[in-house]
Amino acid sequence: MARRALLCFLLLQPLLAAAEPRAQANRTFTIDYEGDQFLKDGKPFRYISGSIHYSRIPRFYWKDRLFKMKMAGLNAIETYVPWNFHEPFPGQYQFSGEQDLEYFLQLVHEVGLLVILRPGPYICAEWDMGGLPVWLLEKKSIFLRSSDPDYLKAVDKWLEVLLPKMKPYLYQNGGPIITVQVENEYGSYFACDYNYLRFLLKVFRQHLGEEVVLFTTDGAGENYLKCGTLQDLYATVDFGTSSNITQAFMIQRKVEPKGPLVNSEFYTGWLDHWGESHQTVSTKNIVASLTDMLSRGANVNLSLFHFRYMFIGGTNFGFWNGANMPYLPQPTSYDYDAPLSEAGDLTEKYYAVREAIGKFEKLPEGPIPPSTPKFAYGKVAMKQVNTVQDSLDVLCPAGPFNSTYPLTFVQMKQYFGFVLYRTILPKNCSEPVLLSSPLGGVHDRAYVSVNGVSQGILERNRVLSINITGKAGDTLDVLVENLGRINFGEDINDFKGLISNLTLGSDVLKDWLMFPLDLQNEVDPDLEKKVTSRSNPSNSTLPSFYVGQFSIPSGIPDFPQDTFIQFPDWTKGQVWINGFNLGRYWPGRGPQVTLYVPRHILVTSALNNITVLELERSPCESQQRCFVEMVDKPILNGPLFSSKKNP
Ligand SMILES: *[C@@H]1O[C@H](CO)[C@@H](O)[C@H](O)[C@H]1NC(C)=O
Ligand SMILES: *[C@@H]1O[C@H](CO)[C@@H](O)[C@H](O)[C@H]1NC(C)=O
Ligand SMILES: *[C@@H]1O[C@H](CO)[C@@H](O)[C@H](O)[C@H]1NC(C)=O
Ligand SMILES: *[C@@H]1O[C@H](CO)[C@@H](O)[C@H](O)[C@H]1NC(C)=O
Ligand SMILES: *[C@@H]1O[C@H](CO)[C@@H](O)[C@H](O)[C@H]1NC(C)=O
Ligand SMILES: *[C@@H]1O[C@H](CO)[C@@H](O)[C@H](O)[C@H]1NC(C)=O
Ligand SMILES: *[C@@H]1O[C@H](CO)[C@@H](O)[C@H](O)[C@H]1NC(C)=O
Ligand SMILES: *[C@@H]1O[C@H](CO)[C@@H](O)[C@H](O)[C@H]1NC(C)=O
Ligand SMILES: *[C@@H]1O[C@H](CO)[C@@H](O)[C@H](O)[C@H]1NC(C)=O
């Protein structure tokens, strides 16, 4: 019934008309400085918006999530555009399927919401490299987020593709986009390069026109606003429940003495890191701040309010998570303790927020779409098929790179996942000898073996040396994993791989072969075939692939349903279902225990294939324990384990 209501609602909305300026003469969205407010079609307008990142929600569920946001009383959504999601290689653009931003904007429009668009080019967002494409690092010395000509050239070329696509979706052209953010918290970045902001302002105006409201967002501190704002870009601030709202807006007033007061990011929750406890923000505090701001709005025409971070967080599928410094990668779930859960479920916070908004705004009528049903498909037996080493010919069909000193990922045009670095031990190590990365050049985690015998794990900022043993002429394999690029601060030029030399005792290791692994696709229908093609089952403790299958009963309406996968007694790795890269699991560190499995990747017509790359230790020495499990409840706050807990 709820689903039917949703459909009817959508059908009633007019489809987005092709942009015909003539027909849209009445649609305006402007800043009224004197009235300290926004004007929509000439009338005072306040938006209450929530963030949703389309890149973190399966397209299959976009409509469902947007409709739930609408039913909470929001009148706008806010989204980032991750550049690296759309231009994975220079000049290769992706705007279809999961990357179909225009379709997303159409859906928003049909649901009856407005859009605050944040196209970056830098977005932070706990997203790999803050949304900047890795290939920018092919120029090793590039100065990102500055007026470095090579950076500007790439930005210019990208915006020339993106912004004209966005133009028809601007409010005044008949679409849902009311305002557009330029850069993101630029005042928190060390460069403080006004020429860069001026360049962006010029390019945004050139492609979007003079009418659209362009704005910046910075932390509510004078220092941030100093470098983050520019004349002709409307300055807004962001802050969470712990801030003094009056003081935060006094900061905005220092830069914008007139015009609407805007909190562009109000933190409804907080982000997680592997190895740190799951973060939450209390519903009570959210409701109190929200009520405070909305009631000020009623009195002083405080214009807007975002639940930017986040109304729904979603998932870092595949390899898309970012990391913070000192190096701490973010987990696969981006649940964010937001009003809608990672899986789009209605939470207590959702209802509390809806009720608070309902005190100030008329809530839409009709039923709220229910949480989607979840199903516990149960245990799935797994079996080890191959080690990574055994699979090199299928996973690296072009063969290895060969170089005296190690190359970085970007030098090999390998952007995500794994590269196996191989060399020969130059000397006997019958007694343990230290294998070290004296300059901390293992980015980010390396699984070390000698002639197929596991030796230990090196890890960025944590484990810079291990002892190894072996004989001269033995093969030393160092499988290096990229755990996600830094997305915030001055270290965003985050090179991956062995970014400096490894030493054995006092000798620099030389003459490397490097095998980039072809595991980078978001979906690889042939993955199962690839990893099983060399089937050579062993009880190896080296990084290995495991496969398993499960069936979903057919003939039951509404099947398949969403589920969550967990890895009892497994340690750390990557998981794919039917070739879809779900992300990392790491119960060996915590706190995330289950990974969200959206139903659209499951089938009832055939067996579903689970492929696991376990990098450390599986429970499969015992056949009874060699399984993964599909459960109907997420666990994001599991136990934490020390970083040094290596096998
Ligand atoms: C749009 O503008 C035209 C011309 O100014 C006016 O006649 C018409 O009533 C306006 N329509 C609305 C819906 O405001
Ligand atoms: C917030 O700041 C204002 C202005 O500095 C001050 O008057 C007020 O007492 C503060 N409120 C709280 C709750 O600290
Ligand atoms: C708020 O907006 C209303 C409607 O435009 C206006 O009448 C009122 O004076 C405004 N109040 C303040 C404090 O600006
Ligand atoms: C790597 O390159 C060097 C120098 O060109 C060559 O001598 C060596 O045989 C190559 N190694 C492999 C395994 O191809
Ligand atoms: C390594 O040890 C073996 C005997 O265990 C010896 O034959 C060989 O010469 C040694 N190699 C080097 C490089 O020291
Ligand atoms: C390596 O082995 C030596 C001698 O056995 C020992 O003193 C040292 O602590 C070990 N170092 C590491 C990093 O394990
Ligand atoms: C490795 O060491 C060599 C010799 O000292 C040096 O030329 C090279 O730049 C180093 N490579 C890296 C990646 O640090
Ligand atoms: C793996 O271990 C099992 C149980 O210990 C044993 O039966 C089997 O022969 C082993 N297989 C290999 C390939 O070593
Ligand atoms: C899973 O793999 C089997 C072959 O082992 C294949 O028949 C089946 O179609 C695959 N399932 C999906 C959903 O691709």
Using the mean position of ligand 6's atoms as its centre, give its distance from the Cα of residue 366 in Å.
Answer: 67
555: confidence class by pLDDT, cuts 50, 70, 90: confident
User: What average pLDDT does this structure show over 328-332?
Assistant: 97
Between 594 and 311, the higher pLDDT residue? 594
Given the residues 78, 87, 110, 185, the one annotated as active site: 185
Domains, the chain, ordered by start: 43-359 (3.20.20.80), 378-385+521-631 (2.60.120.260), 398-517 (2.60.120.260)
The yes-or-no verdict on residue 304 having pLDDT over 90 is no
Please report which confidence band the pLDDT of residue 287 belongs to, taking 50, 70 and 90 as the band edges: confident
Mean pLDDT in residue range 402-407? 98
Ligand 8 pocket member 535 (CB < 6 A)? no
214 Cα: distance to centroid of ligand 3 (angstroms)? 24
Q: Best of 448, 467, 504, 646 to mutate for ligand 6, by most ligand atoms within 8 A of CB?
A: 467
Structure token pair of residue 105: 């904007």
Per-residue pLDDT at 299: 40
Predicted confidence band at 7 (pLDDT cuts at 50, 70, 90)? very low
Question: Closest Cα to atom 1, ligand 2: which residue?
Answer: 244
Alpha carbon distance 584, 567 (integer Å): 11
**Mutation choice for ligand 5 from 471, 474, 504, 507, CB with most ligand atoms inside 8 A:** 471
The predicted pLDDT at position 240 comes to 74
> What is the average per-residue pLDDT within 411-439?
97
- pLDDT at residue 3 above 70? no
How confident is the model over 231-248, as a mean pLDDT? 86
Q: What is the pLDDT of residue 265?
A: 78
Q: Whose CA is nearest to atom 9 of ligand 3?
A: 35
Helix/strand/coil for 350: helix
78 part of the active site? no
Q: Using one digit for the tens of pLDDT, what is the confidence trace for 570-592?
A: 999 999 999 999 999 999 999 99
Residue 16 has a pLDDT of: 43
Ligand 5 pocket residue status of 7, Cβ below 6 Å: no
Nearest protein Cα to ligand 7, atom 8: 405
Nearest atom, ligand 6, residue 466 CA: 13
CA of 329 to the centre of ligand 6 (A): 28
Residues flanking ligand 7, CB < 6 Å: 405-406, 500-501, 508
Q: How far is the CA of 245 from the centre of ligand 2 (A)?
A: 8
Q: Give the Cα separation of 502 and 469 in Å (integer).
A: 15
Q: CA distances (Å), 162 to each of 100, 151, 203, 315, 354, in order?
A: 12, 16, 11, 24, 34
Q: Cα separation of 577 and 594, whole Å?
A: 14
Query: Comparing C-alpha atoms, which of 28, 387, 425, 346 is closest to residue 210?
Result: 28
- If one residue of 382, 609, 610, 611 were mutated to test the ligand 9 pocket, choosing by the most ligand atoms within 8 A of its CB, it would be 609
Q: What is the pLDDT of residue 309?
A: 57
How many CB atoms lie under 10 A from the CB of residue 554? 11
**What is the whole-number distance in angstroms between the Cα of residue 543 and the centre of ligand 5?**
29
Distance 68 CA to ligand 6 centre (A): 57
Q: What is the mean pLDDT of residues 214-230?
A: 93
Contact 428 CB / ligand 5 (< 6 Å): yes
Q: Express each pLDDT in 445-482 by its tens digit.
A: 999 999 999 999 999 999 999 999 999 999 999 999 99
Which ligand gives the minimal distance to the CA of 426? 5
Is it the case that residue 9 has pLDDT exceeding 70? no
Determine how β-strand 442-443 pairs with β-strand 507-508.
Answer: unpaired
pLDDT in tens, 500-542: 999 999 999 999 999 999 999 999 999 999 999 877 777 778 9
Query: Which residues form ligand 6's pocket by a CB distance below 6 Å?
Result: 432, 434, 465-467
Q: 59: CA distance to ligand 6 center in Å?
A: 51
Q: Looking at the CA of 401, which ligand is closest? A: 4
**What pLDDT is recorded for position 238?**
85
Question: Could you give the count of Cα atoms lying within 13 Å of 86 in the half-sphere of its Cβ?
Answer: 24
Give the pLDDT band of residue 175 (cuts 50, 70, 90): very high
Question: What's the gap in Å between 155 CA and the centre of ligand 1?
Answer: 39
Ligand nearest to the CA of 511: 4
Residue 298 has pLDDT above 70, yes or no: no
Averaged pLDDT for residues 158-175: 98
Nearest to 260 by CA among 41, 50, 35: 35
Known active-site residue 528 = no
- Ligand 7, atom 1, residue with closest C-alpha: 501
Average pLDDT in the 220-248 region? 88
CA atoms within 13 A on the CB side of 454: 18
**Ranges of H-type helices in 47-133:** 62-71, 83-86, 101-111
> Which residue among the candidates 265, 481, 522, 614 is catalytic per the annotation?
265
Pocket of ligand 9 contains residue 608 by CB under 6 Å: yes
418-424 vs 512-516, strand pairing mode: antiparallel
User: Ligand 6 center to residue 469 CA distance, Å?
Assistant: 11
Task: Give, as one character, the DSSP assignment of residue 523.
Answer: B
Q: What is the mean pLDDT of residues 275-285?
A: 91
Model-level pTM greater than 0.85? yes
What is the per-residue DSSP string for 403-415? ESSPPBTGGGT--
Q: What is the pLDDT of residue 379?
A: 98
Give me 527's structure tokens: 């993955």
Residues 402-418, buried b or exposed e (16+ Cβ, 10 A)? eeeebbbbbbbebbbbb
Supply the pLDDT for residue 20: 42
Measured CA distances, 170 to 17, 43, 179, 268 (Å) = 12, 18, 8, 27
Residues 6+ apart with CB under 8 A from 30: 38, 39, 211, 213
SS3 content of the chain, % helix, strand, coil (to 5): 25, 25, 45
- Residue to probe by mutation, ligand 2, list 247, 249, 251, 293, most atoms within 8 Å of CB: 247
The protein residue whose alpha carbon is closest to atom 5 in ligand 6 is: 432
* Cβ contact 223:243 at 8 Å: no
